Structure formats: structure tokens, C-alpha cells
A and B are shown apart, each in its own frame.
Chain A
């Protein structure tokens, strides 16, 4: 079956979902970096467009899982929303070849602190030892990292991108207050916050790329994102879900 018709089938299945509005809220927040509560706006959004955007930003099912779970983690109703997230993930898995149910569960457990795919525990469950990351994140030399980033991208754009990612508030070029706020930040502090906030390289990739997509002059920010990802990749362990 070709990708488009699978997507149509996925859309059809998800539109039947009792929590369609929550679904839209979740995907909207993952892609647009903003929480939308206005039911009118949400009703006007087409689920298919939102899903397309999410898929565009997610080269693998892992990216998608990380993206939705990172939104869930910020919410009050985590249990409810993780069910919604899992509903989306298991449907969208059909669009990713080589994803069977067991990798899905593993991928979800690896990235989620709130829930596994098919249960809703009230307490976070401990990760089974075989699913834990094989090694912790490495320490890095902040001077080497900053140098690597400065050599290949614009320091100001890098700061705006990371700031918008870690503070979950998109930088507005026309807002003088945002410029003032940027001057109080230091690039290496921002990079450290980003490194601490993103548990895996997959999460880092999704967060930076999705922020870049939401900022004015996307192509320059995408370039900055790719440089930061390349520079930080060596500090993340390879993901080994045995």
C-alpha cells in the first residue's frame, strides 16, 4: 500500500478516537512549540495536516515517540495524555516500516517516564535493566563544544534556536524584550541546559528541528540545528535496546 493511502487510513482511525481534541492539542504542541486551548482553532485544524507535520519532523518512530512524550511530561494530566500519545504512536507506526510491536514498546519505555504503551500506571515504572541506556551521557569540554558550533554557524542564531528550545517560548524578532532577554544569556549555559533537557540524541534532534521550523527564516535555523546536533552527538551514548 502506498504511503498516502496508509496515512488516510490512519487519519480515519484516529478521527474516530474519543479524544480527538486532546490528540490535536498534543501534536500541535509537539510541532508548533505552543499549547493551544482555543477549541475553535483546534476544530479548524485538520488532523491530516498536523500528522503530516509531525511525520515530516520525525525520521523514525523514535523521534515521534520522544516528541509526544516530551509534551506529555510537561502536562498535569499525564496519565490521560500518555494514553492519547500511545494511541497516536501505535497508529502512526504503520507509516514506519520495520516497526513491530516490541520495538514500539521498547522505544516508548526508553523515552517515557510516565507510561508504557499499553498500561497507565499511576507511578512511573522502573525501566527493566535490559532497556536502560548502555552508558550515561558523557561530560564535555564546554570550550570545545562552543568552538565547534561557532566555527560552522552564526552564534546569535544558535543562541536564539537553543533559547527558544529550552525555554519553550519562540523568539520573536520584532519583540524588543526578546532581544534584551537574549543578551542576558550565554551560549555555553544554553547549550548545557539543552544537553541536560534532552535525554537522547533523538530527543535533541527532534526538539531543535521542530523549533527551527517554527522560527522566522527557517532555513538559517535549520542550518544552525544541524551544526549543534553534529557537535553534540558524540556526547550521547548509542541507543541500545536489547
Chain B
């Protein structure tokens, strides 16, 4: 079937094109609202700026298709194969994309607001600037969760998104907005979160080993029992963050803002906290073997029962600082 035949049959009122063979078809800008293309072959089709709102594309073959600027709002794309598809600036608001294959797809600046992405495979996809507010990526069973391994989510809008348990290893989330997101138990090892907004985020028990958090904003974030060993956190903002029992060994945190951070029982061995601000921080029972606190601001910080004997405190500002033995430094 060619484009003319499809368009004239659709214009005549026919909407059911289940399993049609439409490889390489050119439907640029076509109005096909509500069309049924279930299991159709649309490999390498040109669907740029097409209106496919509420279309049925369940299990359709859309490999390498061009869907730039296409309107797929509320479309059914369950199990569709969109590998290598170009969805640059496409609208997928409230689309059902469950279990679809989007590996290596281009979703630059795409609208994925409230899209259902459970069990979708987004490995290696480009989601730069995409908006995922209210999108569903929630894990239901261990195997039934969105796969984002190696995806590019630079500057993506993921505010309030639930990614609990997701595989985000080596993901680029630099400059992304993840405020209020749930990232409980996620694997973010080797991920790039530089300058990301992570305010109020839940990262409890997440794996953040060797992660890049340079300049990231983690104000009031929940980071209990996280593994942040060897992470890059220069100029990080952890004010008011909760880090009890976290592993911060060898973390690079110079010039960080840790005002009012709660760090009881954390492992800060060999961490670099030069010029960091730890005013009012709670470091009870923390482990600071060879921690570098040179020129740090330790005003009113509490080190009760902390292991501080091999830490470097040269030039540190100690006013009202409570030492491991309970002694309090003067304010002069």
C-alpha cells in the first residue's frame, strides 16, 4: 500500500490498518488521528510532524522511523519497536509506551509528560532536554522496570519522577532537574550528575560509587546508607541533607556546602573537605581517618565520638565546635 492509497482510504472513513505493510512510506505531516496501525510494518517510514494522536501502534515495527515533531499524544505504543527511531521534539504526552523498545532512539526535547514507560528499554537513547514530568518509570517487579543504561538525560525534566530500583548506570543526568524524585535503591554507578538539581531527592540505599556530582544541588536530599565512595562532589550543595551511615570514603568534596548536613556514622576516611562549610553539621560517630579538613568552616559542628585523630584540621575554623571528647571550642 502506498501513501496515497492509505490517505484516501483513511479519508473515506477506514481506520483499521492492522498489520499493514508500510515500510518506507512517506506520511509527512499527515492527519491520521486515531488510526489503527497495530502490528503494522512502518520501518524507516517518514512520519515527521504527522498527527498520530490516539493512534494504535501496539507492537508496530517502527525501527528507524522518522517521527520528528510527530504528535503521538495518548497513542498506544505497547511493545512497539522504536529502535533507532527519530522522535526529536515529538509529543508523547500520556502515551502508553510500556515494554516498547527505544534503544538508541533520539528523544531530544520530546514531550513525555505523564507517559507510561514501565519496562520500556531506553538504553543508549538520547533524552536531552526531554520532559518526563509525571512519567511512570516505576519498578513493579525486579525485571519489569525501565532500562536507561547509558541513556543521555542531560537537562531532562524529571521532577518528581519515581525511578525506584531503575538501572541508571553510566547515565548522563548532568544539568537535569530531579528535584523531589524518588531514586531509592537505584544503580547510578559511574553516572554523570554534574550541576543536576537533586533537591529533596530520595536516594536512600542508592549506589552512587564514582558518580560525578560536581556542583550538584542536593539540598535536603535523603542519602542514608548510600555508597558515595570516590565520588566527585566539588562545590556540591548538601545543606540539610541526611547522610547517616553513608560511605563517603575518598569523596572529593572541596568547597562543598554541608551546612546543617546530618552525617552520623558516615565513613569520611580520606575524603577531601578542604574549604568546605560544615557549620552546624552533625558528625556524631563519624569516621574521619586522614580526612582533609584544611581551611574548612567547622563552626558549631558536632564531632562527638568521631574518629578525628588523623584528620588534617590545619586552618579550620573551630568556633563552638564540639570535639570527640565533648570539649567545646570557644567562639573567639
Binding site for B on A (CB under 8 A): 143, 146-147, 150-151, 154-159, 179, 182-183, 186-188, 217
Contact = CB atoms under 8 A, between A and B. Distances in A.
Given A155-B111, A187-B129, A217-B29, 13 more contacts: A146-B129, A147-B113, A147-B157, A150-B111, A150-B113, A151-B93, A154-B69, A154-B71, A154-B89, A156-B109, A183-B108, A186-B109, A187-B89
B155 interface: yes
A134 B60 CA distance: 57
A147 B69 CA distance: 16
Contact of A146 (B91, B93, B108, B157): B157
Given A143-B177, A156-B69, A150 B88 contact: no
Interface residues of B, number: 24
Nearest to B69: A156
Contacts of A217: 29
Contact of A183 (B90, B91, B106, B157): B106
Contacts of B225: none
B110 interface: yes
Interface string B67-110: 01101000000000000000011110100000000000010111
A156 B49 contact: yes
Given A155-B110, A155-B111, A186 B89 contact: no
Interface of B: 29, 49, 68-69, 71, 88-91, 93, 106, 108-111, 113, 128-129, 131, 133, 155, 157, 159, 177
A158 B131 CA distance: 14
B109 A159 contact: yes
A23 B106 CA distance: 46
A156 B128 CA distance: 14
Contacts of B129: 146, 186-188
B105 to A, nearest CB: 13
A174 to B, nearest CB: 10
Given A183-B106, A186-B108, A187-B109, A146 B128 contact: no
Contact of A188 (B110, B113, B155): B155
Contact of B109 (A151, A155, A179): A155
- Interface SS of A by simple majority: helix
B91 A182 contact: no
12 contacts: A143-B157, A147-B157, A154-B49, A155-B69, A156-B49, A156-B90, A157-B49, A157-B89, A158-B89, A159-B89, A183-B88, A186-B129
A151 B29 CA distance: 20
Among A158, A187, A188, max chain B CB count under 10 A is at A187
Contacts of B111: 150-151, 155
A185 to B, nearest CB: 9
A24 to B, nearest CB: 34
Contacts of B109: 155-156, 159, 186-187
A155 B111 CA distance: 7
The 3 closest A-B pairs by CB, nearest first: A156-B89, A156-B69, A155-B89
Nearest to B66: A179
Contacts of A187: 89, 109, 129
Contacts of B128: 186
A147 B68 contact: no
Contacts of A155: 69, 89-91, 109-111
A146 B113 CA distance: 12
A188 B110 CA distance: 12
Contacts of B113: 147, 150-151
Nearest to B176: A143
A179 B89 CA distance: 12
A154 B92 CA distance: 10
A172 B49 CA distance: 14
B104 to A, nearest CB: 14
A220 B88 CA distance: 18
Contacts of B29: 217
A35 to B, nearest CB: 29
